[in-house]
């Protein structure tokens, strides 16, 4: 399977690079076979190629892509959409632009429940929103940070929209909150992920495939294409951001250890789309296994959420104290 992620190209007025309003939409073009390629609404047009629509308009496949598509079973391309960017969320906290702005991203939402505890019906999207709010409350209590949430309701956002909001607000740190799941109901513990082309281990690769599956294009579920979507190419321009992301991950592992039951090692690497902002240090926190009754119960409880929030706030405080000392 071959995957390619193209950048949204167009320079904005004044020659400045501005991909904010030019949301990338991932489109999957599959050729026949496979027979069960993708569900509607895109009906096969010519023999083999799926029709791709962006904003309801047919998006022709570039000749080069079409050639590659014929040579491979499927190909993933990014198409710049003309859809307007979604509205910016409110920023809470001190009315001082010098204060660091933390963007908290509650994973999943809307028609994407995320992981589900089969016994109790607990849904990742509900837990992540509660934890995101708890982190916001704890951050605001310090009076030092400005805070925004990518979502503050049960709403669906594609992964690019999540980090795009952080970029448009000029966030200094992006923290995506999730809850893990595993077939083994005994699997427990929190972990911290930063971006890498190469997953640190098989579990990290599995997690990236699952989390990246959240993206849906115009009702077309990409879940069958997760391995292609998770194959991300990383720019050299992201190296500095990745270094700072890793620095925050290490601080979180250390400062949060007494409050958050981390796995060992807690810091892992994976090609997670939601962490792909080129210029915002970004970390994904898997707060625990929702598939495990004890972990799930903990991260659903107000007390458990408060401990996670306090651990995160300690780490953020240390991280920015260091940054200002540099």
Cβ proximity to Zn ion, 100 vs 296, nearer residue: 296
Cβ proximity to Zn ion, 172 vs 211, nearer residue: 211
Residue nearest to Zn ion (CB): 178
> By rule CB under 5 A, what count of residues binds Zn ion?
4
- Stretch binding Zn ion (CB under 5 A), from 72-80, 98-106, 177-185, 245-253: 177-185
State the Cα–Cα distance between residues 164 and 291, nearest whole angstrom: 30
Per-residue contact flags (x/-) with Zn ion for residues 193 to 222, judged by CB under 5 A? ------------------x-----------
Q: Does 268 bind Zn ion (CB under 5 A)?
A: no
Cβ proximity to Zn ion, 126 vs 172, nearer residue: 126
- Stretch binding Zn ion (CB under 5 A), from 20-28, 103-111, 161-169, 236-244: 103-111
Cβ proximity to Zn ion, 38 vs 179, nearer residue: 179
Q: Supply the minimum distance, in Å, between the C-beta of residue 112 and Zn ion.
A: 9
Q: Does 114 bind Zn ion (CB under 5 A)?
A: yes
Q: Supply the minimum distance, in Å, between the C-beta of residue 94 and Zn ion.
A: 31
Cβ proximity to Zn ion, 179 vs 217, nearer residue: 179
Q: Does 178 bind Zn ion (CB under 5 A)?
A: yes
Positive or negative CA dihedral for 218, 224, 230, 232?
A: negative
Q: Supply the minimum distance, in Å, between the C-beta of residue 108 and Zn ion.
A: 6
Count of C-beta atoms within a 10 Å radius of residue 207: 24
Cβ proximity to Zn ion, 211 vs 255, nearer residue: 211
- Stretch binding Zn ion (CB under 5 A), from 63-71, 101-109, 138-146, 267-275: 101-109
- Stretch binding Zn ion (CB under 5 A), from 8-16, 35-43, 109-117, 291-299: 109-117
Cβ proximity to Zn ion, 178 vs 276, nearer residue: 178
Cβ proximity to Zn ion, 8 vs 176, nearer residue: 176
Q: Supply the minimum distance, in Å, between the C-beta of residue 145 and Zn ion.
A: 24
Residue from 80, 107, 281, 288 that binds Zn ion (CB under 5 A)? 107
CA distances, 212 to each of 181, 223, 282, 318 (Å): 14, 8, 15, 30
Binding site for Zn ion (CB under 5 A): 107, 114, 178, 211
């Amino acid at each position: 399977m071959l995957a390619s992620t193209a950048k949204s190209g167009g320079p904005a007025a004044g020659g400045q690079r501005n991909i904010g309003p030019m949301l990338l939409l991932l489109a999957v073009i599959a050729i026949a076979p496979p027979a069960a390629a993708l569900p509607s609404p895109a009906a096969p047009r010519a023999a083999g190629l799926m029709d791709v629509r962006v904003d309801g308009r047919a998006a022709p496949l570039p000749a080069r892509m079409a050639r590659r598509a014929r040579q491979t079973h499927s190909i993933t391309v990014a198409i710049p959409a003309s859809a307007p960017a979604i509205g910016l969320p409110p920023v809470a906290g001190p009315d001082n632009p010098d204060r660091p702005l933390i963007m908290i991203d509650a994973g999943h939402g809307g028609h994407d429940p995320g992981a589900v505890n089969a016994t109790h019906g607990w849904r990742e999207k509900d837990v992540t929103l509660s934890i995101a709010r708890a982190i916001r409350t704890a951050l605001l209590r310090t009076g030092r940070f400005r805070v925004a949430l990518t979502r503050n309701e049960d709403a669906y956002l594609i992964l690019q929209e999540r980090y795009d909001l952080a970029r448009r607000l000029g966030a200094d740190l992006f923290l995506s909150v999730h809850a893990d799941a595993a077939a083994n109901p005994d699997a427990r513990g929190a972990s911290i992920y930063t971006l890498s082309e190469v997953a640190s281990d098989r579990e990290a690769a599995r997690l990236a495939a699952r989390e990246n599956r959240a993206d849906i294009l115009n009702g077309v579920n990409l879940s069958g294409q997760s391995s292609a979507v998770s194959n991300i190419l990383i720019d050299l321009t992201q190296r500095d951001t990745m270094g700072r992301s890793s620095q925050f991950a290490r601080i979180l592992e250390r400062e949060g250890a007494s409050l958050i039951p981390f796995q060992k090692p807690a810091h892992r690497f994976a090609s997670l789309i939601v962490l792909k902002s080129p210029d915002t240090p970004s970390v994904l926190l898997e707060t625990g296994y929702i598939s495990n009754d004890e972990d799930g119960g903990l991260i659903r409880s107000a007390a458990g959420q408060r401990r996670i929030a306090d651990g995160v706030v300690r780490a953020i405080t240390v991280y920015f104290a260091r940054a200002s000392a540099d």
